[in-house]
Amino acid sequence: MKSALDEAVIVAITDKQGIITSVNDRFCAISKYTHDELIGQDHRILNSGYHPQIFFKNMWKTIGKGKTWHGEICNRAKDGSLYWVQTTIAPFMDDRGKPYQYISIRTDITAQKNIQQITHIAYHDDLTGLPNRRSLLKRLNEDVKECKKLDTSFAVLLLDINRFKNVNDGLGHKVGDLFLKEISDRLQTLDSQKDRFYRLNGDEFVYILKDVTRVEEMAERMLSIFKESFNFLGY
């Protein structure tokens, strides 16, 4: 059984304070720590800094109530490399119904997460985080096929920032980037589904609108984001 577990999953047992009391060989292999280095430590030894404190606070709140917790965690190995694990933490309960130790069973999902990250980078703009031209073309192809099939229509709104070159030349590319980022943030406040704005290139943004009767309304809302000043003093 131990041999099978070592081949398949990463296992650790901790006491009720979260101090590690037992780990299997696969845990050592992926974390690059020895058994002796891990026993007596808590899992902060693996903290990558990726997750906010509230993430672990909620995790402990769940298992502290005797419930099983499931989630994905990014850990840092001894050599500084990051790895992702799909994690299940189950409490062992005493006669009073209180947890006295926990077992965590993990599987390595680093490869899958890397693929997701690569895919996200390929289809999103680095600066604004908006879907990029490649993503827009994919979306348009899908929407055109859907409209032909259902005999419906959709609208494409193009927003081009006039005299953006003056911002870049006069204030520098750093301010220009801040300006574009702020525009994208404001645009996204108009999109409840968070999936219809795209950065086409440079200072051009695109919005896909399913309800063609709302074109004028949406155009006015897009222009309205410029009513409030853009202030980058002290950037």
Task: Specify the pLDDT at position 77.
Answer: 95
Task: Specify the pLDDT at position 235.
Answer: 57
Q: Top-level CATH class of 2-114?
A: alpha beta
CA nearest neighbour of 145 among 111, 119, 8, 137:
137
* Sequence spans of domains, the chain: 2-114, 124-224
Helix (H, G, I), strand (E, B) or coil at 20: strand
For residues 30 and 108, is the Cβ–Cβ distance under 8 A?
A: yes
Distance CA 119, CA 142 (A): 18
Average pLDDT, the chain: 91
Architecture of the domain defined by 124-224: 2-Layer Sandwich (3.30)
Quickly count: other Cβ atoms within 10 Å of residue 222's Cβ. Answer: 18
Can you list the residues of the chain whose pLDDT is less than 70?
1-2, 194, 233-235
Task: Specify the pLDDT at position 229.
Answer: 86
Task: Specify the pLDDT at position 3.
Answer: 73
Task: Provide the phi-psi class of 40: left if phi over 0, else alpha when psi is between -120 and 50, else beta.
Answer: left
Task: Specify the pLDDT at position 233.
Answer: 61
Q: How far is CA 18 from CA 62, 74, 225, in A?
A: 14, 18, 49
Task: Specify the pLDDT at position 145.
Answer: 94
DSSP 196: S
